[in-house]
Amino acid sequence: MPSNVAVLSGGISLEREVSLRSGSRVADALADNGHEVTRLDVDGELVRVLEQGGFDAAFLTLHGSAGEDGTVQSLLELVGLPYTGPDVLASSLAWNKPIAQGLYRRAGLRTPRGVTLTQQAFREMGAVAVLDHVAEALGLPVVVKPATGGSSLGLTIVHDAAGLPQAIVGALGYADAVLLEEFVEGTEVAVTVLDGRALPAVEIQPKEGAYDFSARYTAGATEFHAPARLDEDAAAACAATAISAYEAIGARHISRADLIVDRHGTPWLLELDTCPGLTDTSLVPLAAEAAGLSFGDLCDTLLGLALAGGSQPGAARA
């Protein structure tokens, strides 16, 4: 049955342009499937428009803060509008990488060893003096990234301890805390979980350097293999890890797990994205296609899950 859908995109995060691309693609797909679609930018008029628009559901294509940290989800629950993707609690847990990794480890999942340091620790407690200990504890290279955020913004791989201060300053430009992790060498893959079921893993092979923001969203900058070129056991382990992470934070509808598969075929969970990109270079559509699901069918599936979940606060936890 056709629905009246608000596609939320844009906002003021650093990932605004990517969000707009995701929103445009989703809106076109839903319209092609017969739905009435209104694209909404996230601004000061959002709540008023949502309350007066007569919408059946909101389809979230927001990336970055406010869209992935539970803020918009809270507003949607207050106005009683069903929405796609994980709820407030799951979104906020996944958004904070150090907290989420603690939950994943409690669930028995393998994650890189890491240390979290806040801006306050550097500014008021002299934490810069312990950076040599960080390098000793984690080894080199060290991955330095903001404790919150996505799209690899602010991420640096540091090969020399002398480069840690500059990398940390860069990461703190995106968040109030920085996560320093041991570097795990291997094959980078992403596994989408759709309504509790893992889709085929997508292997990520940047043509130059790391899989950073540019490699993610520049057409042709990265080579993808869907399904990933993994043996059967490694592929099954990746799927199980992605599902366990989805369950560990209480997700629903969709998530995308970013993993490294080491030379022994063991998956290491890096993080979980609760509102993954849906652009023409994004990983979720590639995984859906590998599973035999068109982009239009993927969008309809997510919309149907939102509509089935109800509109009351805390409804429909998977």
Residue carrying structure tokens 């003021």:
12
Nearest CA-CA partner of 8 in 41, 45, 50, 48: 41
Asked whether the bond before 200 is cis by omega within 30 degrees of 0, the reply is no
Report the share of the chain in percent with pLDDT over 70. Answer: 92
Q: For residue 209, what pLDDT band results from cuts at 50, 70 and 90?
A: low
Rg (CA), the chain: 19
- Taking the C-alpha atoms of residue 301 and residue 287, their distance in angstroms, rounded to an integer, is 14
Q: What is the pLDDT of residue 129?
A: 77
DSSP at 261: E
Q: What is the mean pLDDT of residues 24-47?
A: 95
* Residue range 146-204, pLDDT digits in tens: 999 775 788 999 999 889 999 999 999 989 999 999 999 999 999 999 999 999 999 99
Q: What is the pLDDT of residue 164?
A: 92
pLDDT at 212 over 70: no
The CATH class of the 114-182 domain is alpha beta
Q: What is the pLDDT of residue 128?
A: 76
Report the share of the chain in percent with pLDDT over 90. Answer: 75
Q: What is the mean pLDDT of residues 135-141?
A: 90
Q: What is the mean pLDDT of residues 20-32?
A: 97
Q: Do 169 and 117 form a contact (C-beta atoms < 8 A)? A: no
Identical fold at 4-84+303-307 and 93-110+185-292? no
What are the extents of the domains in the chain?
4-84+303-307, 93-110+185-292, 114-182
Q: What is the pLDDT of residue 291?
A: 97
Q: For residue 135, what pLDDT band results from cuts at 50, 70 and 90?
A: confident
Cβ-Cβ contacts under 8 Å for 226 (sequence gap 6 or more): 200, 201, 202, 203, 286, 287, 289, 290
Question: For residue 80, is it left (φ>0), alpha (ψ between -120 and 50) or beta?
Answer: left
Q: What is the pLDDT of residue 318?
A: 32
CATH of 93-110+185-292, one of 3.30.43.10, 3.50.50.60, 3.30.470.20, 3.40.50.2000: 3.30.470.20
Residue carrying structure tokens 């993080």:
271
Q: For residue 214, what pLDDT band results from cuts at 50, 70 and 90?
A: low
* Residue range 70-123, pLDDT digits in tens: 999 999 999 999 999 999 999 999 999 999 999 999 999 999 999 999 988 887
Q: What is the pLDDT of residue 218?
A: 61
Q: For residue 125, what pLDDT band results from cuts at 50, 70 and 90?
A: confident
Q: What is the pLDDT of residue 219?
A: 62
* Residue range 250-290, pLDDT digits in tens: 999 999 999 999 999 999 999 999 999 999 889 999 999 99
- Higher-pLDDT residue of 183, 64: 183
Q: What is the pLDDT of residue 316?
A: 36
Q: Do 217 and 278 form a contact (C-beta atoms < 8 A)? A: no
Provide the mean pLDDT of the chain: 90
What is the bridge-based pairing of β-strands 187-194 and 254-261?
A: antiparallel
CATH of 4-84+303-307, one of 3.40.50.20, 3.90.550.10, 3.40.309.10, 3.40.50.300: 3.40.50.20
